[in-house]
Amino acid sequence: MTYKGSCLCKTVKFEVVGEFEDFYLCHCKYCRKDSGSAHAANLFSKSAKLKWLQGEAYVRTFQLKDTNHVKGFCSNCGSALPNLQMNGSLLVVPAGSLDSQLDKQPDGHIFISDKANWDEELETYKKFDRFPTE
C-alpha cells in the first residue's frame, strides 16, 4: 500500500510505502501536550518506508529530554509529521497527517492512566457539521 501525506501548509509532502502494523490513540501526558488534544493518533510500522517528496528541509524532530517521546513536525506551520524512532527501526506516522484514505481502524487506547479528566464519554456530546453559530 502507498499512502501520501503532507503538513497543513503543504510545504512538506511525503509518501509511506508498506503497511502499518499498529494504530494507537495515545493519552500519555506528552502526546496530549504536543497534540493539544485528548490524545494523539499514531500509526506504527517496522517495515514501511518513508520518502520525503517535498520540503524535507522543513522537517524537524524534537525528542523530549530523558524520555522516548519524539515528535516530527513542519518548521513552517508546526503540523505533526512522521518520524523514525528506536534507532530507525520504527516509523511513527501521525494519522491526521495522511492525505490518503486509511482503512485501518485504531487498535486501542494506550496510556489511559494519563487520560485527561474531561476525556469521558465524548461521543455523548452535541455534534455539529460546522462551527456552531448563535
Comparing C-alpha atoms, which of 72, 64, 60, 59 is closest to residue 29? 64
pTM above 0.85, yes or no: yes
Spatial distance between the Cα atoms of 16 and 126, rounded to a whole number of angstroms: 35
Residue 68 has a pLDDT of 87
Domain boundaries, the chain: 2-124
What CATH fold (topology level) applies to the domain 2-124? 2.170.150
Residue 134 has a pLDDT of 63
Spatial distance between the Cα atoms of 44 and 106, rounded to a whole number of angstroms: 11
Asked whether the beta carbons of 120 and 27 are under 8 A apart, the reply is: no
Comparing C-alpha atoms, which of 90, 98, 57 is closest to residue 74? 57
Vertex 61: Cα angle to 53 and 83 (nearest 5)? 55
The pLDDT > 70 percentage for the chain reads: 99
